[in-house]
Amino acid sequence: MIEFKNVSFDYGDDENKINALKDISLTIEDGEFVAILGHNGSGKSTLARLINGLLAPSRGEVSVDGISTVDSSAVWRIRQQVGMVFQNPDNQIIASRVEEDVAFGPENLGCEPAEIRARVDEALAVVGMRELAHFDPHLLSGGQKQRVAIAGALAMKPKYLVFDEATSMLDPKGREEIVATTRRLNSDYGITVIFITHIPEEAALAGRVVVLSGGTIAMDGTPQAVFADVDALADLGVGVPKARLLARGLEQAGIDIPDSILTVDDLVAALC
């Protein structure tokens, strides 16, 4: 379980203080798939970095499985438990062979060579990249590079994975690869996923959507509940799935349609 208790975070010094998060309280249970939406600067990346202790709260407490992220004896355990995947695939790759890149984390943990081998093989298999283990990662597509980055995080055997706009530099095919991979990690491997994105269709696949605005939590609920209020989301600088916009347009044109529709297939079913 990840828990934020009355967490605030300030960047800068006393004179130029930027209050990036304001008194956030949030609990994420094991096994959840939580999407986080919010305008640029709403505090999403700050929240992500607080989860694995890259940042320490200015006020309040962040805990992972009941242990505070500022507990110095637990820092390494938390880094291992909480994997991060960032936006730019090119900044996350260090080695010149895919498998070496994935081995980096377990090597740093001090694992035995046989254990490292087993972890790398498994992580690459999970993301569907085993055939490319010997490739130079720099020659891969964006989606493949991001899958290598995910494998690198998986090789640490994390309980939680945080994706900070990991799809935003990819083409539609690459995005689909990443979304499919993360859903599988959640449903088949029980990894808790925190998925930061600007793409409403991706957020709609989550079990829960949290919307940040100006450093506070503006909405928190199922995708159906959150995306029901199109105008409120627009005020928060957040879009809704295109199918929801189509459904709302039809509703305004006098056709009876529930406000829970998030996909074209649902919309077709409701109209037929």
Partner 1 sequence: MEMANVTFEYLPGTPLAHTALTDINLTISEGDFIALVGPTGSGKSTLIQHLNGLLTPTSGSLSFRGRRVGVDVSPLELRREIGLIFQFPESQLFEHTVADDIGFGLRRQGLTGPEVASRVENALLQVGLDYAHYAQRSPFSLSGGEQRLVAIAGVLAMRPRFLVLDEPTSGLDARGKAAIFDCLDRLNSDGVAILMVTHSMDEVAESARRIIVLNEGKIVLDDKPERIFAHASFLRGIGLDIPKAAELVYKLREKGFEIELDSVSVRSVVDSVAAAVKERCAN
Ligand X SMILES: Nc1ncnc2c1ncn2[C@@H]1O[C@H](COP(=O)(O)OP(=O)(O)O)[C@@H](O)[C@H]1O
Pick 115 or 171: Cβ nearer Mg ion: 171
If phi > 0 it is left, if psi is from -120 to 50 it is alpha, else beta; for residue 264 that is alpha
Pick 133 or 238: Cβ nearer Mg ion: 238
Q: Which tokens in the block code for residue 114? A: 């046989």
- To partner 1, the closest distance from the beta carbon of 246 in angstroms equals 6
Q: How far apart are CA 117 and CA 133, in angstroms?
A: 11
Pick 18 or 255: Cβ nearer ligand X: 18
Q: Examine residue 38 and tell whether it contacts ligand X (CB under 6 A).
A: yes
Write the DSSP string, 31-83.
T-EEEEEE-TTSSHHHHHHHHTTSS--SEEEEEETTEETT-GGGHHHHHHHEE
Which residues on neighbouring strands pair with residue 27, listed in sequence order?
3
- To partner 1, the closest distance from the beta carbon of 251 in angstroms equals 10
Q: Examine residue 138 and tell whether it contacts partner 1 (CB under 8 A).
A: no
- Sign, CA dihedral 126-127-132-137, equals negative
Q: Examine residue 41 and tell whether it contacts ligand X (CB under 6 A).
A: yes
Q: Examine residue 177 and tell whether it contacts partner 1 (CB under 8 A).
A: no
CA distances from 51 to 1, 35, 112, 136 (A): 11, 15, 28, 31
Q: Which tokens in the block code for residue 258? A: 């529930």
Of 42-50, 80-88, 180-188, 250-258: span binding ligand X (CB under 6 A): 42-50
**Binders of partner 1 in range 36-95 (CB under 8 A):** 38-41, 87
Q: Examine residue 42 and tell whether it contacts Mg ion (CB under 5 A).
A: no
Pick 49 or 159: Cβ nearer Mg ion: 49
Q: Examine residue 20 and tell whether it contacts ligand X (CB under 6 A).
A: yes
Q: Interface mask (CB under 8 A) for partner 1, residues 202-241, using x and -? A: --------------------------------x--xxx-x
Pick 42 or 182: Cβ nearer Mg ion: 42
The number of helix segments (H) and strand segments (E) in the chain equals 11, 10
- To partner 1, the closest distance from the beta carbon of 145 in angstroms equals 12
Tell me, by CB under 8 A, how many residues bind partner 1.
35
Which positions ≥6 away from 246 have C-beta within 8 Å? 264, 267
Place of tokens 């029901």: 228
Count of residues making up the chain: 272
Binding site for partner 1 (CB under 8 A): 38-41, 87, 141-142, 165, 168-169, 171-174, 198, 234, 237-239, 241-243, 245-246, 249-250, 253-255, 264-265, 267-268, 271-272
